[in-house]
Amino acid sequence: MSVEAAVERARRIRLIIFDVDGVLTDGSLFYGDTGEEYKAFNSRDGHGIKMLRASGVDAAILTGRTSQVVAHRARNLGIARIIQGSEDKLASYQHLLGEVGLLPEETAFMGDDVVDLPVMRRCGLAVTVPEAPEEVRCRAHLVTAFQGGRGAAREACEFIMRAQGTWAAQLALYDR
């Protein structure tokens, strides 16, 4: 897909939905001796999500795993819609659309593996990371230059803000 076509899709986005492992993190899973799970999140990704939300695009999380760490991170970013433990991401996505009253073309989804394809094929803007399998990359409207957990979410947020003409206003808050 051309950059121009992806920009056109990004102009319509009102909600971006993120997978977690491999998107908001680098996909590594760390476990403590007692079974507690740890994840590393990128602070610039988080700030990108906050800026995108401030520009008028809401954010949600849709993940197949369940982790209290994800709930804590979502609260920290002001993300109210969190779906964890989803065995059928498409059904969860469709339920979320009903809750928020949006059309598929008004949503973006950022995933990194084949389990994300059903949602990526239906949303308005499908975003993935460069380390995603070829089958996922070739079906995405946008493949980020940055890796999952290493700035990819920030890149996606900035792409949407630039497409919608809100990036300059967000940047101006800091460039004074």
Q: What is the pLDDT of residue 36?
A: 86
Residue 29 burial (CB count, 10 A):
11
What is the set of domains in the chain, with CATH numbers? 3-167 (3.40.50.1000)
Distances from the Cα of 92 to the Cαs of 50, 61, 117, 144, 176, in angstroms?
23, 11, 13, 25, 42
Q: What is the pLDDT of residue 37?
A: 87
Residue 54 burial (CB count, 10 A):
14
Q: Which two tokens stand for residue 67?
A: 């982790």
Quote the CA–CA distance of 9 and 168 in Å, as a whole number.
19
* pLDDT mean by block of 10 residues, the chain; 176 residues: 91 98 93 89 97 98 95 96 97 97 98 98 98 97 97 98 97 88
Exposure string (b/e) for 55-93, b if CB count within 10 Å is 16 or more?
bebbbbbbbbeebebbeebbeebebeeebbebeebbebb
Q: What is the pLDDT of residue 2?
A: 85
| Consecutive H or E run containing 38 | strand 37-38
What does the DSSP 8-state code read for residue 147?
Answer: P
Angle between helices 152-164 and 43-54 (to 10 degrees): 20
The pTM of this model reads 0.95
C-alpha dihedral sign at 146, 151, 154, 158: negative
Quote the CA–CA distance of 10 and 106 in Å, as a whole number.
8
Q: What is the pLDDT of residue 176?
A: 78
Q: What is the pLDDT of residue 56?
A: 97
